[in-house]
Structure 1
Amino acid sequence: MDLLLEFLTRFVTQFQSPALAFLVGGMVVAALGSKLAIPDAIYRFAVFMLLMRIGIDGGISIREADLGEMLLPAAFAAALGCGIVLLGRVTLVFLPGVRAEDGIATAGLFGAVSASTLAAAMVILEEDGIAYEAWVPALYPFMDIPALVLAIVLANVYLTKREGGSDSKVAIWPIVVESLRGSALSALLLGLALGLLTRPDQIFESFYDPLFRGLLSVLMLIMGMEAYTRLNELRKVAHWYAVYAALAPLAHGLLAFGLGYLAHLATGFSPGGVILLAVMACSSSDISGPPTLRAGIPSANPSSYIGASTSIGTPVAVALGIPLFLALGQAVFAM
């Protein structure tokens, strides 16, 4: 009962947070037929800045972290990213009306991480005074990159064997290399390398970090507008995508919360870190994923995987996932 009450309290409070407010605002504006449009150049700039900020911050955090403490949570993050893709591969693909490449792309997007959802959770935890290790956001690429690369590999293996027969050989490594060269993953990896190998602290603190929340609000507004648009597109494809997008995020997050709790028992992983790991697994990629999958699985229908993620997955993760795992953390760790 206490958990339910805590969840409902968090849920109501969540609607007052800037991240969800801008998301809902974008959906309302689109539903009212407004002609408001954010130039694509601004969207691309916001995406680049957020990925660079997360990458640089992650690199700095890894550089300064106790790698022994980080090892188990990082391994769990990578396992979660790959596991979610494999789980989606064996469920979505066999549902009626779901094309294999569309199902794999959808699983890849839900195995990867939403930078905006992670950022919103970080802001809320900081506002609530819930501490977490500085390197926890650096778990983002450990979950995100393996999930996207695995989805592209699985889809290409499937398509190659479908076209050339079951005995066709597929070169895996070139697919992996090409995936990592995508614009979104390149920006994330560049920021990670700069934070890890150089000393960008001053430019990070004076340029990237101050713009973070403002750019996040712009991105959430765009996401809300696109969510409403994609909702109409989603109706044109199999309704199983809507079911998956509504249920899978919370299931993924609960699995991650369980693994995070094991890391807490084994290494002292903080309650805030457990919550953020759950939010990462609950989220579906909105920045690095779509452009990476568009390039890596061009035959997949974006209305299926982006529609499922943007119109249902992201609102579920932000509006339900974050307050749920905050409440669960409150109940489990007595914060």
Structure 2
Amino acid sequence: MDFLYDFLLRLLSQFQSPTLGFLVGGMLIAALGSRLSIPDAIYKFIVFMLLMKIGIKGGMEIRDANLAEMLLPAFFAMVTGIVIVLLGVFIFSLIPSVKKEDGYATAGLFGAVSASTFAAVMVVMEEESIAYEAWVPALYPFMDIPALVLAIVLANIYMKKRSAEDGSQQSDQSDVDVWGIIKESLQGSALSALLLGLALGLLTTPDRVFDSFYEPLFRGFLSILMHIMGMEAYARINELRRVAHWYAVYAFLGPIVHGLIAFGLGYIAHHIVDFSPGGVVLLAVMAASSSDISGPPTLRSGIPWANPSAYIGASTSVGTPVAIAICIPLFIVLAQMVF
């Protein structure tokens, strides 16, 4: 009962936070028919700035970190991404109205990581003085890349088998280039910015530019990103209505289940390598999120047969708001009770 009470209080405060407030505000003005729009170039610049800040901070801390302590959380992050994809593929295979290729793409997107959600939970935890290992952002690619690669590989294998069964001439075009998928993921804008920031923080001494430029601007840029995500979420709702309603159900329940899987693995890491409760929360929210930057273009090229309205609509219009509004307070309260 105390858990439910604490969760509801934190949920209410989360709706009053600037992070979620800007998200809801974006949805409201889009619903009212506002013509306000943020140029795509500004959106990409903001994402770059946020990920650079996260990456630089993580790289600076990795210099002084015990790398052996990172191995198990990194392994668990990879396992989480793979399990989420396999679970999603299994669930969608049980629903006759869902096309297989759409199920693979949706599972892959929810197995990958949302940069905006990850940035949002870091702000919330800093506001509440919840400590965590600063190298946790380095776990991002360990979950993101395996999830996208697995989803694309499984989808291509399925399409190759179907083409062979249909006697289609497309079978020669369905060969799976795993390294190409990994390379494309690493070259994506989100991972490129994060990895660049990690390298700069690890190999250089960017402390002054970090303290005077990236740190002060972080919260302001995040609020604009949340506003953009809110408008995008409302726009995608109409797309989601055109596909099976099962996507909305999955997008609502999936983040909670995925986060609980990662929370359980993080709990194990806590007892084995003393992974901090804050780190466990970050890992759980990372799993609860669904990729909004690197994932969609990677899946568009890797699974071109899938319907973007299904997987992007489910992620943006339902998955991201659930991850930010519900999963962040849920796992913070859960960590406070468990630890």
- The interval holding the TM-score normalised by the smaller chain is over 0.9
Match of 1:332 in 2: 338
Please report how far the alpha carbon of residue 204 of structure 1 lies from its aligned counterpart in structure 2 after TM superposition. Answer: 3.0
In 2 relative to 1, CA 23–121 (structure 1 residues): closer, same or farther, beyond 3 Å? same
Match of 1:323 in 2: 329
**Residue type matched to 2:327 in 1?**
G
Please report how far the alpha carbon of residue 51 of structure 1 lies from its aligned counterpart in structure 2 after TM superposition. Answer: 2.6
Please report how far the alpha carbon of residue 316 of structure 1 lies from its aligned counterpart in structure 2 after TM superposition. Answer: 0.8
Q: Is the 8 A contact 2:19 2:223 kept in 1?
A: yes
Match of 1:190 among 196, 208, 215: 196
Match of 2:160 in 1: 160
Match of 2:216 in 1: 210
Match of 1:25 in 2: 25
Q: Is the 8 A contact 1:62 1:196 kept in 2?
A: yes
Does 2:144 correspond to 1:140? no
Match of 2:230 in 1: 224
Does 2:263 correspond to 1:237? no
In 2 relative to 1, CA 250–38 (structure 1 residues): closer, same or farther, beyond 3 Å? same
Q: Which moved more, 1:36-45 or 1:205-214?
A: 205-214
Please report how far the alpha carbon of residue 110 of structure 1 lies from its aligned counterpart in structure 2 after TM superposition. Answer: 0.8
Match of 1:49 in 2: 49
Distance 2:227 2:27 in 1: 8
Residues 294-319 of structure 1: per-residue CA shift (max 9 Å, x gap) = 23222221111111011111111111
Q: Is the 8 A contact 1:85 1:107 kept in 2?
A: yes
Q: Which moved more, 1:144-153 or 1:157-166?
A: 157-166
Residues 142-196 of structure 1: per-residue CA shift (max 9 Å, x gap) = 2122212222222223223332459976443333333433333333333333333
**Residue type matched to 2:221 in 1?**
L
In 2 relative to 1, CA 25–307 (structure 1 residues): closer, same or farther, beyond 3 Å? same
Does 2:7 correspond to 1:3? no
In 2 relative to 1, CA 101–69 (structure 1 residues): closer, same or farther, beyond 3 Å? same
Residues 86-127 of structure 1: per-residue CA shift (max 9 Å, x gap) = 111121244122122211111111111112112111111111
Please report how far the alpha carbon of residue 32 of structure 1 lies from its aligned counterpart in structure 2 after TM superposition. Answer: 0.8
Partner secondary structure for residue 64 of structure 1: coil
Please report how far the alpha carbon of residue 42 of structure 1 lies from its aligned counterpart in structure 2 after TM superposition. Answer: 0.8
Q: Which moved more, 1:73-82 or 1:60-69?
A: 60-69
Q: Is the 8 A contact 1:101 1:155 kept in 2?
A: yes
Match of 1:103 in 2: 103
**Residue type matched to 1:47 in 2?**
V
Please report how far the alpha carbon of residue 74 of structure 1 lies from its aligned counterpart in structure 2 after TM superposition. Answer: 1.1
Match of 1:36 in 2: 36
Q: Is the 8 A contact 1:111 1:148 kept in 2?
A: yes
Q: CA RMSD in A?
A: 2.0
Distance 1:207 1:293 in 2: 34
Distance 1:140 1:188 in 2: 9
TM-score, length of structure 1 as denominator length:
0.93
Distance 2:194 2:301 in 1: 17
Match of 1:313 among 319, 323, 327: 319
Please report how far the alpha carbon of residue 34 of structure 1 lies from its aligned counterpart in structure 2 after TM superposition. Answer: 0.8
**Structure 2: 5+ residue runs without aligned partners?**
none
Written as runs of structure 1 = structure 2, the 5 A alignment for 1:112-127 is 112-127=112-127
**Structure 1: 5+ residue runs without aligned partners?**
none
In 2 relative to 1, CA 157–199 (structure 1 residues): closer, same or farther, beyond 3 Å? farther
Match of 1:295 in 2: 301
Distance 1:35 1:245 in 2: 28
Distance 1:172 1:129 in 2: 41
Match of 2:268 in 1: 262
In 2 relative to 1, CA 41–159 (structure 1 residues): closer, same or farther, beyond 3 Å? same
In 2 relative to 1, CA 24–2 (structure 1 residues): closer, same or farther, beyond 3 Å? same
Distance 1:186 1:296 in 2: 18
Distance 2:149 2:290 in 1: 15
